[in-house]
Amino acid sequence: MSPVIEEHARARLITDGPLTRPVPVDLRYDPADERRTVHIGLPDGTDWAFGRDLLERGLRTPIERGPVRVWPCGRTQLIVELHSTDGVEVFQFEIRTLIRFLARTRTQPPTASPDADREPRPPSRTTRPDTPRATRPGKSAEQERGTQPAHG
């Protein structure tokens, strides 16, 4: 059994406003899980899963696969744009962080599985049940997302 590769990183959440804010993210790769799939875990408990090749190719050229878009921004930054029914989240990563993470994933050969010859699954978004949605003190989840709670 191959060990899971995890890296805690910082990304900048790009917003419509004039300021961006740093957010912690978890990068994860499990060679025994789904072949060549990386996960980006966001602070709100959302987990995005997509092919490792999407990040690798996005380091060099813009690429889009389903709800995920990745492109280089200058020589030191990478943009990851995630589309869902809740809206769009745009993150800016230091390229060196992703290069280091991807290099570590290449040291672990994929574990042979019945799905080994099939194409990687399309990008997906899930909510981790063990992680409550993070909000700033004094703000509800609706206010944090920019929506207003329904009043009866």
Residue range 40-52, pLDDT digits in tens: 999 889 999 999 9
**How far is the CA of 27 from the CAs of 46, 51, 97, in angstroms?**
12, 13, 10
| Residue 128 falls inside a structural domain | no
Q: Which residues pair with 38 in a beta bridge?
A: 29, 50
Q: Which domain holds residue 10?
A: 5-111
48 domain residue, yes or no: yes
Residue 98 belongs to a domain: yes
Written as six digits, the tokens of 130 are 């063990």
By mean pLDDT, which of 4-8, 32-36, 58-62, 73-77 is the weakest?
32-36
CATH number assigned to the domain comprising residue 87: 2.30.31.20
Domain count across the chain: 1
**How much is the average pLDDT of 105-119?**
60
Could you report the per-residue pLDDT of 87-111, keeping only the tens digit for each? 899 999 999 999 999 999 988 665 5
Residue 132 inside a domain? The answer is no
Q: Which pLDDT band holds residue 16 (cuts at 50, 70, 90)?
A: confident
- Look at residue 115 in the predicted model and tell me its pLDDT: 47
In the chain, count of helices (H) and strands (E)?
Answer: 3, 9
* Residue 152 belongs to a domain: no
Strand 37-41 relative to strand 68-73, pairing = unpaired
pLDDT of residue 25: 96
Q: What is the pLDDT of residue 1?
A: 57
Give the per-residue pLDDT at 86. Answer: 86
Q: What are phi and psi of 57, to 5 degrees?
A: -70, -35
Q: Is residue 106 part of a domain?
A: yes
Q: Which residue type is seen at 72?
A: P
94 in any annotated domain: yes
For residue 145, is it within any domain? no
